[in-house]
Amino acid sequence: MSHQVQRYLDQVRGEFAGVDDGELASYIPELTRVDPHGFGVALSSSDGFVYESGDAATEFTIQSISKPFTYALALESVGCAAVDAKIGVEPSGEAFNEISVDKVTKRPKNPMINAGAIAAVSLVPGSSPDERFALIQDYYSAFAGRRLHIDSEVYASEKTSGDRNRAIAYMLASFGVLDDDPDEVLDVYFRQCSLKVTATDLARMAATLARNGMNPLTGRRATDAPVVRRTLSVMVTCGMYDAAGDWVSAVGMPAKSGVGGGILAVLPGQLGIGTYSPLLDSRGNSVRSVLLCRKLSEELGLHFLTVARDSRSTLRAIYEPRDDIRVYEVHGDLLFCGAEQVVRTVDRGCDEFAVGILDVTRVDDIDDAAKHLLSGMGTTLRERGKVGLIVDPDRMVIGAGSEFEDFRFSTVQDAVDAAAAFLGVEGSDR
Ligand code: GLU
């Protein structure tokens, strides 16, 4: 464990521990019975190490933080097109429990408001509420890395006091958004909201999203990358009730909050945060959790739009081992923008050499767009009367059986020798 990080987390939590603004959610009596002073935070690194501070092990109900996960399960089960046919992805600007649908499409505006969340439940496969809920429970548990259970008192109370949600579900049925019995769908929705989690569970669930669906604790895949991308997108625009804009500007992490007092925040590729403090502001977000996330983001540079480094560092070196032969050595992680820069630099220098050699030996990772650009470079050079060779011992760019295989070498020396031989032949022809 890093004592520095632990000390820092304790200190930041301590800073806000005295804040007692806000109210407990009171639409059901069970939520007013919690300790208003409860305050915990957990931070999971992307390799699954968890730092905890305060009441990180206190259980509370997940409530609306369930919404992104059921949406993800619906996406995974029936596919994006079928989900889009029933639920939009636009921020609503309305209260989370508004009895409304989009005026034109008659679909719920997004899956983070109750209407969209109830529609998402109906897309989870299952021939009975029990079957549907079992899938949901398994799914959330895979993200948390432990079995999650229901708070049966909260569930019973949600069910007896859920008239507003009933109104929403029946409205959705009347618009053809719900194909199943509204009460059965609602029963599952109430159960999912009543699942108990801790701040640590939320941090682990967030870290699983941060890892593109791979749970860093269990090493098991909970979902796949396209599902994560879509889910995080909706969390960015709609995850924090009516405060989504403020949150993105100040904190800048895809997140979801719930009236149980939790917030789950994700920094893609990096970490997951879970917080708990049940006193809520007027928008329904946990007061101390928001303050804490804001501070962590500012001080640790967690805003997802922070530009960490630009792609100039892609080109490590350019040198000429012999007259007429120029080597471009690239390194690091190559995405479209870095590869575009390499291709443009080679293009610009093209009149100054006869053979261009691209050395990708030190590339750590490369995506498809970059691969496509770099593998086409040889063809572009040939069109301009040049020779393009590539040093690609690990087949980062040139896959087995590629049409460019003849231009691939394992070392720079081999490529330079081949280029020299070629230039020699060229020379004797002249
Ligand atoms: N069970 C709550 C409801 O649907 C969830 C509220 C929330 O966390 O926003 O009303």
- Residue 168 falls inside a structural domain: yes
Domain boundary, last residue among 300, 335, 354: 300
Q: State the closest ligand 1 atom to the C-alpha of 190, by its place in the atom list counted from 1.
A: 1
Hey, what are 156's tokens?
């019973």
Distance 69 CA to ligand 1 centre (A): 14
Q: Based on the domain organization, do 263 and 314 belong to the same domain?
A: no
What is the SS3 assignment for 231? Answer: helix
The CATH number assigned to the domain holding 341 equals 3.30.750.24
Range list of β-strands (E), 36-140:
40-45, 50-54, 60-61
Q: Which amino acid is at 287?
A: V
Q: Based on the domain organization, do 81 and 229 belong to the same domain?
A: yes
Distance of alpha carbon 96 from alpha carbon 237, whole angstroms:
13
Residues in the chain: 430
Contact in structure between 155 and 172 (CB atoms under 8 Å): no
Predicted local confidence at residue 428, as pLDDT: 43
Domain count of the fold of the chain: 2
Predicted local confidence at residue 430, as pLDDT: 33
Ligand 1 site residues, Cβ closer than 6 angstroms? 63-64, 96-97, 114, 158, 165, 193, 258-259, 284
Tell whether residue 140 is among the known ligand binding residues. no
How many Cβ atoms from other residues are within 10 Å of residue 341's Cβ? 18
Best CA proximity match to 373, nearest among 349, 348, 342: 342
Distance 282 CA to ligand 1 centre (A): 14
Distance 63 CA to ligand 1 centre (A): 5
Q: Based on the domain organization, do 333 and 279 belong to the same domain?
A: no
Best CA proximity match to 381, nearest among 355, 403, 360: 355
Domain boundary, last residue among 281, 300, 319: 300
Distance of alpha carbon 260 from alpha carbon 411, whole angstroms:
59
Q: Based on the domain organization, do 189 and 334 belong to the same domain?
A: no
Domain boundary, last residue among 300, 326, 349: 300
Q: Based on the domain organization, do 75 and 188 belong to the same domain?
A: yes
Tell whether residue 170 is among the known ligand binding residues. no
DSSP H stretches of helix in 182-263: 182-193, 199-210, 225-238, 244-250
Hey, what are 31's tokens?
């939520």
The CATH number assigned to the domain holding 58 equals 3.40.710.10
Q: Based on the domain organization, do 53 and 80 belong to the same domain?
A: yes
**Above pLDDT 70, what percent of the chain?**
97
- Residue 334 falls inside a structural domain: yes
Distance of alpha carbon 6 from alpha carbon 52, whole angstroms:
8
Best CA proximity match to 108, nearest among 171, 194, 188: 171
Tell whether residue 340 is among the known ligand binding residues. no
Distance of alpha carbon 92 from alpha carbon 102, whole angstroms:
9
Hey, what are 168's tokens?
């929403």
- Residue 30 falls inside a structural domain: yes
pLDDT tens digits for 101-110? 888 999 999 9
Q: State the closest ligand 1 atom to the C-alpha of 260, by its place in the atom list counted from 1.
A: 8
DSSP H stretches of helix in 251-383: 287-300, 336-349, 368-375, 377-383
Q: State the closest ligand 1 atom to the C-alpha of 194, by its place in the atom list counted from 1.
A: 1
Specify whether 241 is catalytic: yes
User: What is the span of the domain harbouring residue 265?
Assistant: 3-300
| Catalytic residue of the set 67, 109, 159, 386 | 67
- Residue 269 falls inside a structural domain: yes
Q: List the residue whose alpha carbon is closest to atom 4 of ligand 1.
A: 114
Distance of alpha carbon 278 from alpha carbon 40, whole angstroms:
10
Q: Based on the domain organization, do 243 and 269 belong to the same domain?
A: yes
Angle between helices 225-238 and 67-78 (to 10 degrees): 140
Distance 11 CA to ligand 1 centre (A): 31
- Residue 230 falls inside a structural domain: yes
Q: State the closest ligand 1 atom to the C-alpha of 258, by its place in the atom list counted from 1.
A: 8
Specify whether 155 is catalytic: no
pLDDT tens digits for 310-369? 555 688 999 999 999 999 999 988 888 888 889 999 999 999 999 999 999 999 989 889
Distance 125 CA to ligand 1 centre (A): 22
- Residue 305 falls inside a structural domain: no
Specify whether 170 is catalytic: no
Strands 60-61 and 325-334: unpaired
Predicted local confidence at residue 429, as pLDDT: 41
Specify whether 67 is catalytic: yes
Distance 269 CA to ligand 1 centre (A): 29
Q: Based on the domain organization, do 208 and 281 belong to the same domain?
A: yes
Specify whether 64 is catalytic: yes
Distance of alpha carbon 210 from alpha carbon 112, whole angstroms:
19
Tell whether residue 259 is among the known ligand binding residues. yes
Q: Which residues of the chain have pLDDT under 70?
A: 1, 308-313, 426-430
Tell whether residue 189 is among the known ligand binding residues. yes
Q: Based on the domain organization, do 148 and 261 belong to the same domain?
A: yes
Q: Based on the domain organization, do 254 and 355 belong to the same domain?
A: no
Q: Which amino acid is at 21?
A: D
Q: Which amino acid is at 311?
A: S
* Cβ-Cβ contacts under 8 Å for 152 (sequence gap 6 or more): 194
pLDDT tens digits for 50-84? 999 999 999 999 999 999 999 999 999 999 999 99
Q: State the closest ligand 1 atom to the C-alpha of 193, by its place in the atom list counted from 1.
A: 1
| Catalytic residue of the set 41, 236, 259, 346 | 259
Q: Based on the domain organization, do 10 and 57 belong to the same domain?
A: yes
Q: Based on the domain organization, do 292 and 315 belong to the same domain?
A: no
